[in-house]
Homo-oligomer: A and B are copies of this chain.
């Protein structure tokens, strides 16, 4: 019994290692070391230092954005109506929605159609449609109401216009108006983020900034990259687009906040980087739906209780604050996997050397004999060949 256990223990506590052949040759030795050097350089320089393969990363950022716009503008209007003549617009008028979330619009131009009541009227003849041919089409897509099929003719006109049912009078959006100047407006952005994997929380401006510093700064990519206050005119310029056209037709601007954090370094270096793009750039070549606009209505009631509305076609610049981020921190698992890959790759370098040794070197045959020992077990010839082989080896 004790003997069996002893046998088991001596068998268990053994150490098995590969038997090596050491080749002392200048050419192979140098090739071997150069290959190893290249592999090590690649791993140290690229994989570990540049690509930071020793870190696990979290791109699943959690973000909350609060925005606040400031500024006043003069709204030009097509109407002679005193209501909209050179009106001073403030934040409550031109920012929509008002809650200050990451997506907000600054209205630059308003086509206002006042005093619309439900009823029947002619559509505005921007398309100069002859009644007889088109008024029977159901739901003309460009019509501002349901086409009834009837044709309304003025005594002076020869072809008349389609009658529509809906909010009357119809909007006439073919009017040209100058957009409001929004260049001097400022946007304040408060962004707090968290990397859930590492439980790291950061804000987009440092806690050491005083209230006064924040209020009086303006963002500048080099001079003031951490100031959270952006001049609208600057933002539009940074996108490299035609600002006049943007203001006039509307557009979608992306304010990108990028967090690239190496959590192995000082957390204070985990700061945001802003970039500005025109979001509808991929559609630049398409003629359709250039710009950005939307319609909304304000509802009123007459004394006798009938509802009427003012329709607004608002051309706006929509700002989307988009937060992306990536945090990396040392983690044993990717480190180990990449270390193993590194060591194994060095091993694979030996394959190259073997090929050279076995085929292209003077001592190839002799090296082959040293490296390989044959055991012949092919059934048919087994006995004989093995003998002869054995014999040759020990000869």
Q: Is the CB of B17 within 8 A of A371?
A: yes
Residue from B19, B88, B288 in contact with A145 in the complex, judged by beta carbons closer than 8 Å: B88
Q: Is the CB of A353 within 8 A of B295?
A: no
**A266 in the interface (beta carbon within 8 A):** no
Separation in Å of the A91 CB from the closest CB of chain B? 6
Q: Is the CB of A190 within 8 A of B64?
A: no
Q: Is the CB of A14 within 8 A of B24?
A: yes
Which A residues from 214 to 252 make CB contacts under 8 A with B?
A: 214-215, 252
Q: What residues on B are CB-neighbors of A27 within 8 Å?
A: 377
Q: Is the CB of A26 within 8 A of B379?
A: yes
Q: Is the CB of A357 within 8 A of B90?
A: no
Q: Is the CB of B377 within 8 A of A25?
A: yes
**A391 in the interface (beta carbon within 8 A):** no
Q: Is the CB of B141 within 8 A of A83?
A: no
Query: Which residue on B lies nearest to A214, using beta carbons?
Result: B288
Which A residues from 349 to 373 make CB contacts under 8 A with B?
A: 350, 353-354, 357, 361-363, 366-367, 370-373
Among the listed stretches A97-105, A129-137, A155-163, which one makes contact with chain B, having 4 or more residues with CB under 8 Å of it? A97-105
Query: Which residue on B lies nearest to A210, using beta carbons?
Result: B287
A220 to B51, CA, bound (A): 43
Query: Which residue on B lies nearest to A299, using beta carbons?
Result: B298
Q: Is the CB of A96 within 8 A of B99?
A: yes
Q: What residues on B are CB-neighbors of A375 within 8 Å?
A: 21-25, 363, 366-367, 370
Q: Is the CB of B252 within 8 A of A296?
A: no
A48 to B210, CA, bound (A): 48
A289 to B190, CA, bound (A): 9
Q: Is the CB of A280 within 8 A of B66?
A: yes
Q: Is the CB of A29 within 8 A of B17?
A: no
A305 to B207, CA, bound (A): 46
Separation in Å of the A163 CB from the closest CB of chain B? 13
Q: Is the CB of B295 within 8 A of A146?
A: no
How many A residues have CB within 8 A of the partner chain? 152
Q: Given contacts A99-B105, A289-B190, is CB(A24)–CB(B91) below 8 Å?
A: no
Q: Is the CB of B377 within 8 A of A367?
A: yes
Q: Is the CB of A282 within 8 A of B202?
A: yes
**A165 in the interface (beta carbon within 8 A):** yes
Q: Given contacts A202-B282, A338-B337, is CB(A166)–CB(B88) below 8 Å?
A: yes
A376 to B66, CA, bound (A): 74
Q: What residues on B are CB-neighbors of A353 within 8 Å?
A: 15, 17
Residue from B14, B292, B345 in contact with A66 in the complex, judged by beta carbons closer than 8 Å: B292
**A306 in the interface (beta carbon within 8 A):** yes
Q: What residues on B are CB-neighbors of A196 within 8 Å?
A: 258, 324
Q: What residues on B are CB-neighbors of A299 within 8 Å?
A: 298, 300, 310
A2-39 interface code vs B (CB 8 A; 1 in, 0 out): 00000000101111111111111111111111000000
Q: Is the CB of A19 within 8 A of B17?
A: no
A272 to B284, CA, bound (A): 18
**A150 in the interface (beta carbon within 8 A):** no
What are some 6 contacts across the A-B interface (CB < 8 A)? A23-B375, A26-B379, A88-B146, A99-B105, A205-B286, A214-B286
User: What 9 A-B pairs are tightest by C-beta distance, nearest first?
Assistant: A13-B29, A203-B282, A25-B377, A207-B285, A211-B288, A88-B166, A92-B297, A98-B296, A211-B287
Identify 14 new A-B residue pairs, CB closer than 8 A, beyond the known A18-B21, A74-B146, A337-B337. A14-B23, A17-B21, A19-B20, A24-B378, A47-B336, A62-B322, A90-B145, A92-B312, A96-B99, A99-B294, A201-B282, A205-B283, A215-B288, A367-B375
